A and B are shown apart, each in its own frame.
Chain A
Amino acid sequence: MRKILQVALREYVETVKTKTFIIGLLMVPVIIGGIILFAGRFSSDQGGPRPPMRVPVTDLSSAAWPQIQAAFDQHNRSHPGKKVLVEALEAQPNPDAVQAEAKTRLRERQIDGYIVLDKDVVTGSGKVWLYSYKPRPADLDGLWTVEGILQRIVVDERCKARGITPEVLAEIRSVSVERVDVGSTGEAQRVEGRDVIGAKMMVPFFFMYLMFMGVAGMGQHLLSSIIEEKNSRVIEVLLSALSPFELMAGKILGLGAIGLTVISLWAAGAFAAARGQGLEMEVTAGLGICFVTYYILGFLLFSSILAAIGSLCNTIKEAQGLMMPVMMVSIVPMLAWFKLVQDPNGTLARGLSFVPPMTSMVMILRLASSPDIRIGEILFTIALLAATVLGAIWVAAKVFRTGILMYGKRPGLREVLRWLGQS
């Protein structure tokens, strides 16, 4: 045991000192922070400025044009970077010819869109026609704006035609919805803004992401550490002092400890950042204990598989090929997270919880998104995962023992299976 700890200690100290590790440690929060910041800016002003759109309007109803002009003027004043220039295109004397000509101009890209309001658009059930020609992705946002404004104007006009004044309409339209969390006691209830609700969706994802980075990221370090020892031939010297199992166990322990350190740092940073933004996040001690338990088991499972893979390969490249299937499995919960958060006790969520390589990620996501996961289910998944871990370590130790000293050609699956039969 003392030897295992010595190996773990070296692994910890030497890995923490490497540049790759330090860069990785800092890059992840920087990238995530960057994405959040960028996404925030992006959604607040719908992207950067774009050239003004030219959109002629043919108003066959002759009832809405002044309002259209006024509405777009107002829009252009408040969004100078996203102007939509409208102009009236008189339908007289021949409406069909006018429309045909406008469409030709549209095809030649002289204009970016063309609007036709049916004759009975206000009085009856006429339509608003919005023509475009092979719109580029950049145009779509502008077309949505146009659509929204037109719809509002037509509704307003229809209301007026039925004798409802704009003031009444405004009153009718304003419905304020307050979301209130009642809390556990009467006084604790509080009004939740949209940010808080968004954060509530993101917190479980964040926990799962931490789990993923801690498990998969540290797994990468384990793999490169094993392959480095193999390539620098230090392995035989090590094995003259240690048993292969002691070496493997020490490495896994050391990197697992680094993983916990990194996760704690990231979590503390995220918590502080959220506090700074005025978001209250409730993280219970129970969740913390579950996280650590699932992390340790998940990491042991993942890293023993990677230790076996690493022992069979001579280069990182070779190892990455073999790692692909393992990574694929752990990415499934990342892809399905939204569905899982929405229904943490659903069939999908429960089903994936029982697939050992995914258990830790899915369970932490479920636990963070819903407080009413049955304790029995938690204990069962932990037991299942622990049993798988024991099996994986048994297999990995056998493969590692033989594989670690093999150079040159990688052994085939059949040969590896034969090693499992050896004492």
Chain B
Amino acid sequence: MEAIRLEQVCKSFGDVRAVDHVCATIPAGSLYGFLGPNGAGKTTTIRMIMNILQPDSGTLRILGDDSVEQAKARIGYMPEERGLYRKMTVAKVLRYFGAIKGVAEQDLARRVPAWLERLDLAAWANKKTEELSKGMQQKLQFAVTVINEPQLLILDEPFSGLDPLNVDLLREIILEMRQQGKTVLFSTHAMHDAEKLCDSVLLINRGRIILDESLAALRSRRRSHTVCAELEGDTSFIERLPMVTAVTAEANRMEIRLADTADPQELLRAMVDRVRVQDFEIKVPSLHEIFVDLVRSSNAEDPSSRPA
């Protein structure tokens, strides 16, 4: 079962191709990070999924429906542009959005206080939303998104504007939802958020998908060629090893870059024969590095596709 399927979706604004033949499938139950630099087409794609924008061409299927209109009650969408009714109280806003998403009255009576409690907003239930701090408004916005207990959550930059405590709270809730079998798609350009949270990433640049892979597969495929080691003894031989291309040393700690074909295990074997190894770490490439790397190479391949 797939939660979202995009086929050859295109959207232009004037001369600018915001989304260019995008194909993607988000399987049900997955936690997908939607990454990309600013202006890559993330929000445009999400808006097309929500039928807020209409694609120029291509097809979309959401939760098995051709149009999101039938599925809206099963989706929680948090737009990039947050918006609440400023003059309404916190509880009323939540209740109203629940009602228009088709949640029954008796369910709302239970869910509204429960979510306000969960998000630490219970004390503010009868305050107008304009009296809330930015972070609290953001949490309320999240509550609005999940009040209908959606099967599919689409979050556009959910962590922006939150303090670390609230980021953790939100992350915990998102992980909980995944455990309940719900599908989550969230966009971000904070790589460490994506790294800690998602199973798979969808990377978009200049309107095109340049990567769609599980995080585990991505890491193992893009093996690192850098090793960090702490050694005791004479380490000068390391530079002379054929598999080593560069060494930077700092006290006893050194960073060793290997040739593309080399195996770090070979290096370790060579080391234990000669010196005492205190610490040996194969550096896992961070999502940040992968991101920068991929976006750079995609820009280099295709410099003319869009005005930068």
- What is the interface of chain A, defined by CB distance below 8 A to chain B? 2-3, 6-7, 10, 14, 17-18, 229, 232-243, 405, 422
- Name the CB-closest residue of A to B69: A243
Indicate the member of B75, B83, B102 with the most A CB atoms within 10 Å: B83
Closest to B81 in A: A233
Please pick, from A6, A10, A232, A236, the residue contacting B86 in the complex, using a CB distance under 8 A: A232
B residues within 8 A CB of A232? Answer: 83-86
Bound CA span A243–B68, Å: 10
Cβ-defined contact, A405 with B53, below 8 A: yes
Q: How many residues of B contact A (CB 8 A)?
A: 30
- Tell me whether A241 and B100 are in contact (CB under 8 A): yes
Is there an interface contact between B84 and A234, defined as CB atoms closer than 8 Å? yes
B240 within 8 A of A: no
User: Is A237 a contact of B86 with CB atoms below 8 Å?
Assistant: no
With A236-B81, A422-B54 given, name 11 new contacts (CB 8 A): A3-B100, A14-B88, A18-B87, A234-B85, A235-B83, A239-B50, A240-B72, A240-B76, A240-B77, A241-B97, A405-B52
B87-110 interface bits toward A, Cβ cutoff 8 Å, 1 = contact, 0 = none: 110000000110111100000000
| 17 A-B pairs whose Cβ atoms sit less than 8 Å apart in the complex | A6-B100, A10-B96, A17-B87, A232-B84, A232-B85, A234-B83, A236-B79, A236-B81, A236-B83, A237-B82, A237-B83, A239-B52, A240-B52, A240-B75, A241-B101, A241-B148, A422-B54
**Cα A239 to Cα B76 with chains together (Å):** 11
Asked whether any CB of chain A lies closer than 8 Å to the CB of B144, the reply is: yes
Residues of chain B within 8 A (CB-CB) of A229 are 83
Interface of A is mostly: helix
B102: which A residues are within 8 A, CB to CB?
2-3
Least distance between B60 CB and chain A CB atoms (Å):
15
Inter-subunit contact A237/B79 (CB<8 Å) = yes
Bound-state Cα–Cα, A2 to B78, Å: 23
B272-300 to A contact mask, C-beta < 8 Å, 1/0: 00000000000000000000000000000
Q: How far is the CA of A6 from the CA of B99 in the complex (A)?
A: 7
Known contacts: A232-B83, A233-B81, A233-B82. The answer to whether A238 contacts B100 by CB under 8 A is yes
| Residue in contact with B100 in the complex, picked from A7, A17, A236, A422, CB distance below 8 Å | A7
CB distance from A240 to the nearest CB of B (A): 4
Chain A residue nearest in CB terms to B54: A422
Chain B residues whose CB sits within 8 angstroms of the CB of A405 once the complex forms: 52-53
**Alpha-carbon separation in the docked complex, A3 to B99 (Å):** 7
Instruction: Please give, as numbers and ranges, the residues of chain A lying within 8 Å of B99 by CB-CB distance.
Output: 6
In the bound complex, how far is the Cα of B76 from the Cα of A236, in angstroms? 12
Query: Which chain B residues border A235 with CB–CB below 8 Å?
Result: 83
Closest 9 CB pairs of A and B: A234-B83, A233-B83, A240-B77, A233-B81, A236-B79, A241-B101, A241-B100, A6-B99, A232-B83
Contacts of B148 in A (CB 8 A): 241
- For B73, the closest partner residue in chain A by CB is A241
**A233 partner residues in chain B, CB cutoff 8 A:** 79, 81-83
Contact of B79 among A7, A17, A240 (CB under 8 A): A240
Q: Which of B50, B52, B82, B87 is A14 in contact with, Cβ under 8 Å?
A: B87
State the Cβ distance, B95 to closest chain A Cβ, in Å: 10
Note all chain B residues with C-beta closer than 8 A to A243. Answer: 69
Q: Bound state CA distance, A3 and B81, in angstroms?
A: 23
Distance in Å: Cβ of A273 to nearest Cβ of chain B: 33
Interface pair A6/B144, CB less than 8 Å apart = no
B87 cross-chain contacts in A, Cβ below 8 A: 14, 17-18
- Nearest-neighbor residue (CB-CB) of B88 within chain A: A14
Min CB gap A17→B, angstroms: 8
B121-146 vs A, CB cutoff 8 Å, 1 = contact: the mask equals: 00000000000000000000100100
Which A residues are in CB contact (< 8 Å) with B100?
Answer: 3, 6-7, 238, 241-242
| Assembled-state Cα–Cα distance A240/B54 (Å) | 14
Least CB distance, B104 to chain A, in whole angstroms: 10
Q: Are A236 and B97 in contact (CB under 8 A)?
A: no
CB distance from A189 to the nearest CB of B (A): 57
A6, B75: Cβ atoms under 8 Å? Answer: no
Q: Which residues of B contact A241 (CB under 8 A)?
A: 72-73, 97, 100-101, 148
Most buried by B among A17, A239, A242: A239
Docked complex Cα distance between A233 and B80 (Å): 10
- Bound: A3/B69 CA distance, A: 13
Residue of B nearest to A243 (CB): B69
Complexed CA–CA distance, A235 and B100 (Å): 13
How far apart are the CA atoms of A18 and B86 in the complex, in Å? 12
Complex partner residue of B50 from A10, A240, A422, CB under 8 angstroms: A240
What residue of chain A has the Cβ atom nearest to residue B148's Cβ?
A241
Bound-complex Cα distance A377 to B52 (A): 44
Would you give the shortest CB distance from A128 to chain B, in whole angstroms?
69
Complex contacts, B50 vs chain A, CB 8 Å: 239-240
CB distance from B89 to the nearest CB of A (A): 11
In the bound complex, CA of A405 to CA of B75 (Å) = 20
CB under 8 Å from chain A, chain B span 236-276: none
- Residues facing A in B200-248 (CB within 8 A) are none
CA of A378 to CA of B76 in the docked complex: distance in angstroms? Answer: 49
A323–B78 Cα distance when bound, in Å, is 33
Question: What is the minimal beta-carbon distance from B149 to any residue of chain A, in angstroms?
Answer: 14
